[in-house]
């Protein structure tokens, strides 16, 4: 599964708006929307932050694993 599909899925499952996620990432909602729609590639620094936000692995977001579980979790700074 493509990461943009996973991003939208995680956001809707967690009942978050694009604005809420963008605020967490300290970016504009329009920028986040472009990542979620696949218009722009998402920088790796946001991948790390989203893993912490949703408590999932980068492998899950990138579609390399089908389970959301992570072996260990590091609290957000």
State the CATH number of the domain containing residue 50: 1.10.260.40
Q: Is residue 66 part of a domain?
A: no
* Per-residue pLDDT, 49: 97
In the chain, the number of structural domains is 1
Q: Which domain holds residue 42?
A: 3-61
Mean pLDDT computed over every residue of the chain: 90
Q: Is residue 20 part of a domain?
A: yes
The C-alpha atoms of residue 70 and residue 22 are separated, in whole angstroms, by 23
Q: Is residue 57 part of a domain?
A: yes
DSSP 8-state class, residue 74: -
**Residue 68: pLDDT band by 50, 70, 90 thresholds?**
confident
Least confident span in 15-24, 40-49, 63-72:
63-72
Q: Is residue 53 part of a domain?
A: yes
Q: Is residue 72 part of a domain?
A: no
- Residue 54's Cβ-side half-sphere holds a number of Cα atoms within 13 Å equal to 27
Which comes out higher in pLDDT, residue 70 or 48?
48
* Per-residue pLDDT, 27: 98
């Amino acid at each position: 599964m493509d990461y943009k599909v996973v991003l939208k899925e995680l956001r809707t499952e967690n009942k978050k708006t694009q604005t809420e996620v963008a605020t967490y990432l300290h970016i504009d909602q329009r920028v986040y929307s472009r990542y979620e729609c696949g218009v722009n590639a998402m920088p790796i620094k946001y991948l790390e932050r989203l893993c912490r936000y949703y408590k999932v692995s980068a492998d899950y977001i990138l579609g390399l694993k089908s389970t959301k579980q992570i072996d260990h979790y590091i609290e957000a700074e």
